[in-house]
Structure 1
Amino acid sequence: MKALKPISILEKIKLMINKRFLLSIIALITLLLSNYSYSIDVMEKSDDALKQYLWSSSEFNKLPFSEIIERGDPLQASWYVWNKYKRNKDTKEASLYLDNIIEKWDLNREDKLTYKYSYNDLAEGWWSSMDMTLLPLVLISVGEKTANKEYLTIANKLISQAVKSPIEGGSLWPDEGDGCWFSEYSWQGMTKDQEYYVMNGHLFSLTSIKLLADALNNAEAKAAYECGLKGTKAMAASFLNDGNWPLYMLYPETINPPHYLIFEAIQFAGLYDITGDAFYAAQRENRSAALAKYYPIYNVKNTDGEFKFFSALGPPHPYLHDIFDNEIICTDLNKTSSLSRIIGEAKNNRFFYKAITSNAQGDEKCSVYSKYLGVTFKLYETQNFISADDNILNPLPHSIETLFDAKEKNGAIIIDPSIRSSPEGQVSYIDTEGRIKLSFESQELTDNSMIAIEIVSDTRLPIMVTYIYEEKQITRYFVPIEKDQTSLLVISHVGFENANLLSKVSSITITILTDKLTHNANMRVKNLYSLKNQYDLFKLLSENKSEMLMAAD
């Protein structure tokens, strides 16, 4: 074997220098990669984990990006880019969108996103945890693919700001013993006692911060998630509303519209998929149970036979139908008939009449799905169906009393805001309201029962509604009575605070709020109906095609 040539001292020195140079280069590359690389690509998570982002408002898909930017809406802008990039993985297009956002909000200098328009009582310049945690998800994903260090720098800056208190310009209320809470609406000068505590906004940000914590191994994000989880667990029971329909937010207490309850179920399901924490599964089941309870499938029998019925209208807002499409799939457990399927469009079909023919010779199992923008979510599965019939609906006999600014004359009711009912020299609330009390034979209050009142008015009138039985009463604000049409006022006790106080109702008071009324209004109560369930409501609307369900669309 040929002997190896000895290495000279000079060559050894050169090798040592080269080795040190190589190690330095490796260290530098590692350092640079650590600033924009991460171990988990959030965009590669399962659709179940990311469904809250996929289940986005149609506005994010219909509005041109330029209009969103011009308006100055950081959530719509961030969500728009997220959805586009998730679906087409086009880094060049996503980078153009992200650069527009960075320029619009000057994110190379600023540390948070603000809204460039006022919203309700919030002046321009308010901010939200939702976009402060969503935009970093897109920045780190696109930044990884394009080796754009600027994107990660901005993402980390937004995360650091988002997990500060709203008092410091952030979006996370710190732990005071009951965990942390992400604020959907924050503004300059805000204090904690002004927090709305909106569940879906908190969950949205909690999901985002968890994904960021896992992807970046970011200590601030990890701590924020753990504290946010603690806060969610501490506050969860407050949203369940004594076992009735869950609340949308706590201050002021506001019940969920159906589509937001579905969105919460999606969010809890996603968090369970990401974390495996059984707490999230239980909260998702609470929402599913409410949907199954108040939006059940009916088994209807009439002279034509037997069929299944499902309605997108129901408690607690009978006037506000679920905005998402539905799909119902039923299977015959004894396999004596084929699978049945129906898809209904929420905008065009509030009811699924004769949707599923019940031709099975044994037990059936049905699953109800919500569908939106090509994404599907299972609401619940059931083998229990509520019986309904085609019996004729008759008006419920009732008497009418009027009080304060309301006066009855020859069957008509005149609302006169000039009436003063307080003692002379005094002013009170009774000077700014007219009351119409409808009394009738007591009616049982069940999960699906409703009262429907046909009203015609020549003026749009804001109202409150009160259910009364044996000196107990529950009250809630309601949608206004519209003018120049016969409106069908449909009421469910489920939407009331302290709904469990009453098991029956024997009178209903409609309170007309007259403080802003500038002239007399004329109205008439035409008929009153006691509805056992949503199928009764369907029959009433079908028989009275000229009637308008109040605020249904």
Structure 2
Amino acid sequence: MHKKTIAKLLIVISILLIPSVIYILYKKPQETKTIIRVEKPIPVLSYSDKVYLPYENFRYIDQSQEISRLYGEGTEFIDPWLEGTAIITAFNNGYRNNDSNSYVAGLKRLDKVLAVFDKKGAWPHPQYGSYPDGWVSSMDAPVIALCSQAAYEITGEKKYIEYRERIVRHMLKTVKEGSFILPLKNGTQWLAEYAYPLSTEENEYYVLNGFLVGLQSILMLANATADEELYATYDKALLAYKKLAPGYWYKSFDWSYYMLNPLTIIEPHYMIYETKQLDALYTLHSDNFYDEEATKHRIALTKILPLYAVDNQYYLLRAGAPHPYYIDIFLNTIEFYDDQGNITGTIKSNRTGSFFERAFMQGSIPANTKGYHMYSHNGSDAKKYYLFSAPIRQIKSDDQLKPSKIDYTTNGFNDAIPVAKNEFSLKREVSSSDEGTIVIELDKPLQKSVDSFWGIEITSAEEALVYIVLFDNQGNTAHRYYRPLVQGKNLLLLHSLGFNNFENLKGDINKVRISIFTETEVNKHNKSDWMVEINGVYNYPTSASAFMHLKGHPDLIINEQK
């Protein structure tokens, strides 16, 4: 990597250290300026790879979850978003590599998707969650209209222009008219990922990544067609985002939310994906708002992916905040660099091995290393994506490295009957609550820091769902569901960012309440009572401390979310 490029990459480090970041994080959103209209249309396929990354990478996210949905009558649903990303990727490959086979493959898929539009006038989705059959999405029509424009640029066939126009006229309607544009009372417009005629400003989810898919696609269509109505829609939608943007962030700006209603904590791969979207939009439209939001994302990622060093050994936890039982689906590549910006070594994460082997990256630090660049990728080095650069954090005292065991007392309520010190029998028919409640009173408080983790060792003879509530000494609470207990010695590895309302805690965290559900889908097969024991509570000052504890206790089980 060129030294000038390295210097640019180090901007994130300086941002963390200079007062100007306060301005970025706290300034009020500005009214959006109407973007400069293009003097002549910009072909869809003429942009840099950075613009297309959001389409390619989200396709990877959805495929990893193996989403398969059917209409109520059992016919297969052709997902226009997944098909659209495959089509754009094929067209982009054809354009970059002069590959006619890629063009043909993309056109074949596009014609199949357009046939659905001919038949139904949209791409109505099957029932999903609270949304009935027939809902539509900001991730559908804009992407297929974009594909149709690209198909016209490739083939010159007028039918694709006609499809583009029909789809654009459909998608510029409101939710009440069967599209995804939700007018807001302040005069702006939200692009709803989940939309149906009964969508309102009050019941809208406000999912950000789906909104940004629609926003980017609409802007690229506007640039390709010089359609003033598309530009006007883009302007109103961008202003809506600017007004709502502060609500997506924790008060501390340590982390953010996936959607606003209800507030839902974002997972790291969506945080990374939104960063790619914001970078792409800043490339298309040099509004500083996009760059500032991307910077906030990178700062947050820096906080949850710190690299620690003990002597010449490094430790990085990939299954970190906010949910330490979840190893992110995007892989990571780390490049070490020296004082001159030269690369001193490269390491890559992997998808094989035990949870411990995949969750932690560890090894020897190359000589003369000063810091590291963090990249994200889906397995292809050619597509690795720059996240941030940061200094290595040296651990020089045992206080930062060794787990701190906390003394405690316990008590049981409802279906949790105490039978010995810290041991409980879970009875299925003692109370009407269908849960056993274990309260842990701590002699020392849990550490409240973005760097620290907590651990609760709990042995269970059965699988069971759990719900955890933290209490401070002023009576404030934070709460979350956790992965089910499994048979054996579980480690509930916890981080503050994964708790709802954690920022409401003002005092020391001196009490933990664990609810173990006795009548759920997880354990309904077994009707007998079972034993649960609290074996220990720990403060981990750093993720390296958590590494040391897990390495020394290979019998501990973290019930991984895959």
C-alpha deviation, 1:434, in angstroms: 2.6
C-alpha deviation, 1:313, in angstroms: 1.7
Q: Who is 1:20 aligned against?
A: none
Question: Is the 1:454–1:525 Cα contact (8 Å) retained in structure 2?
Answer: yes
Residues 4-45 of structure 1 deviation map (CA, whole Å, 9 limit, x = unaligned) = xxxxxxxxxxxxxxxxxxxxxxxxxxxxxxxxxx83222221
2:347 to 342, 351, 356: 342
Counterpart residue type for residue 318 of structure 2: A
2:479 to 460, 476, 481: 476
Residues 284-322 of structure 1 deviation map (CA, whole Å, 9 limit, x = unaligned) = 011111111121111223xxxx23322212111111122
Question: Is the 1:126–1:185 Cα contact (8 Å) retained in structure 2?
Answer: yes
Task: List alignment gaps of at least 5 residues for structure 1.
Answer: 1-37, 422-430
1:494 to 489, 493, 497: 497
Q: Secondary structure at the match of 2:319?
A: coil
2:231 & 2:420 partners in 1: Cα distance?
Answer: 69
1:544 matched to 2:560? The reply is no
Pair 1:417–1:187, CA change in 2 (3 A): farther
Pair 1:298–1:367, CA change in 2 (3 A): same
Pair 1:330–1:401, CA change in 2 (3 A): same
1:494 & 1:61 partners in 2: Cα distance?
Answer: 27
Q: Who is 1:320 aligned against?
A: 326
Q: Secondary structure at the match of 2:118?
A: coil
1:330 & 1:387 partners in 2: Cα distance?
Answer: 18
1:531 & 1:290 partners in 2: Cα distance?
Answer: 20
C-alpha deviation, 1:49, in angstroms: 1.9
1:509 to 505, 510, 513: 513
1:196 to 188, 205, 215: 205
Q: Secondary structure at the match of 1:546?
A: coil
Question: Is the 1:342–1:356 Cα contact (8 Å) retained in structure 2?
Answer: no
Quote the RMSD (CA, aligned, Å): 2.8
1:369 & 1:62 partners in 2: Cα distance?
Answer: 19
Counterpart residue type for residue 345 of structure 2: S
Question: Is the 1:245–1:290 Cα contact (8 Å) retained in structure 2?
Answer: yes
C-alpha deviation, 1:232, in angstroms: 0.7
C-alpha deviation, 1:272, in angstroms: 0.8
1:126-525 paired onto structure 2 within 5 Å: 126-177=135-186, 179-242=188-251, 243-301=253-311, 306-333=312-339, 339-346=344-351, 348=353, 349-360=357-368, 364-374=370-380, 375-383=383-391, 385-387=393-395, 392-393=402-403, 395-411=405-421, 412-420=423-431, 431-440=433-442, 441-500=444-503, 501-502=505-506, 504-514=508-518, 516=520, 519=527, 520-525=529-534
Q: Who is 1:33 aligned against?
A: none
2:51 to 45, 49, 52: 49
Q: Secondary structure at the match of 2:51?
A: coil
C-alpha deviation, 1:494, in angstroms: 1.6
Higher RCO (Cα < 8 Å, 6 or more apart): 2
C-alpha deviation, 1:514, in angstroms: 4.6
Identity of aligned residues (%): 23
Question: Is the 1:314–1:448 Cα contact (8 Å) retained in structure 2?
Answer: no
1:96 matched to 2:96? The reply is no
Question: Is the 1:257–1:320 Cα contact (8 Å) retained in structure 2?
Answer: no
Question: Is the 1:198–1:250 Cα contact (8 Å) retained in structure 2?
Answer: yes
1:148 & 1:472 partners in 2: Cα distance?
Answer: 68
C-alpha deviation, 1:143, in angstroms: 1.7
1:118 & 1:521 partners in 2: Cα distance?
Answer: 38
Task: List alignment gaps of at least 5 residues for structure 2.
Answer: 1-39, 96-101
Bigger Rg, which one: 1
2:436 & 2:483 partners in 1: Cα distance?
Answer: 14
C-alpha deviation, 1:386, in angstroms: 5.0
1:82 matched to 2:94? The reply is no
2:250 & 2:77 partners in 1: Cα distance?
Answer: 36
Question: How many equivalent residue pairs?
Answer: 497
Pair 1:133–1:321, CA change in 2 (3 A): same
C-alpha deviation, 1:215, in angstroms: 0.8
Larger mean CA deviation between 390-399 and 162-171 belongs to: 390-399
Pair 1:395–1:60, CA change in 2 (3 A): closer
C-alpha deviation, 1:404, in angstroms: 2.1
Pair 1:497–1:479, CA change in 2 (3 A): closer
C-alpha deviation, 1:199, in angstroms: 0.9
Counterpart residue type for residue 177 of structure 1: N
2:63 & 2:452 partners in 1: Cα distance?
Answer: 38
Larger mean CA deviation between 468-477 and 139-148 belongs to: 468-477
1:7-86 paired onto structure 2 within 5 Å: 39-58=41-60, 70-86=76-92
Larger mean CA deviation between 448-457 and 70-79 belongs to: 70-79
Counterpart residue type for residue 434 of structure 1: G
C-alpha deviation, 1:151, in angstroms: 1.8
Counterpart residue type for residue 379 of structure 1: L
C-alpha deviation, 1:365, in angstroms: 2.9
C-alpha deviation, 1:205, in angstroms: 1.0
Question: Is the 1:541–1:547 Cα contact (8 Å) retained in structure 2?
Answer: yes
Pair 1:521–1:154, CA change in 2 (3 A): farther
2:327 & 2:361 partners in 1: Cα distance?
Answer: 15
Pair 1:127–1:163, CA change in 2 (3 A): same
1:531 matched to 2:540? The reply is yes
C-alpha deviation, 1:389, in angstroms: 6.0
Pair 1:468–1:216, CA change in 2 (3 A): same
